[in-house]
Amino acid sequence: MLKRLRRAAGFSIIELMMVIAIIGVVLMLAVPSFAEFLQNQQIRVASDAILNGLQVARAEAIRRNLSVQVAINVPETGWVVSESASGTVIQSRQHQEGSRNANVLTNPGGATTVTFTPLGGVTGNADGSFPVTQLDIDNPGGGACQLASGPMRCLRILVTGGGSLRMCDPQLPVTSPPDPRACP
């Protein structure tokens, strides 16, 4: 009687090594894109948070019928909304809340505060400084919107004298008809 030899079920060491090598190659290709994705997300979170702080300040100025200011912690992305006269804090956000790798640049340079009137417009700050009219949020390298793996997404928040707030993308070209995401 002949006995049949049964081969053990499973994977050989060569098959396992091939799978590990393929997984390694795929990870090496995906990590730079993932790092860029994470940085873009932090810039978006920071931009949304700052825009939210500005909207809260404007709404509270109208609701309370008082001047309300928002102070931005430049170059970080934290902010504090408070009553201009009394300094009572209404709401605040810490820089570490989801956007620690984002950077804020203001225009005019050195400005850090926006004061909203009871009618929702922008006025001069109580300390005599100019109000912020533009905030550029980018990566900590500052201004270049570049990372070793590729371009970063920068976002801009525009504050008009009438209190209008708008977030836009300064890297998009101005086209005809105009792209609503592009900065004017």
Q: What does the alpha-carbon distance between residue 85 and residue 124 come to, in Å, rounded to a whole number?
A: 13
48-79 residue pLDDT tens: 999 999 999 999 999 999 999 999 987 788 88
Domain ranges of the chain: 14-168
- Please tell me the predicted confidence (pLDDT) of residue 138: 84
Task: State how far the alpha carbon of 7 is from the alpha carbons of 3, 18, 64, 102, 111, in Å.
Answer: 13, 21, 81, 58, 76
Q: How many CB atoms lie within 10 A of CB 4?
A: 4
Fold entry, domain 14-168: minor pseudopilin epsh fold (3.55.40)
Residues β-bridged to residue 134: 107, 158
- Return the residue matching tokens 């609503």: 180
Dihedral of CA 91/44/62/65: which sign? positive
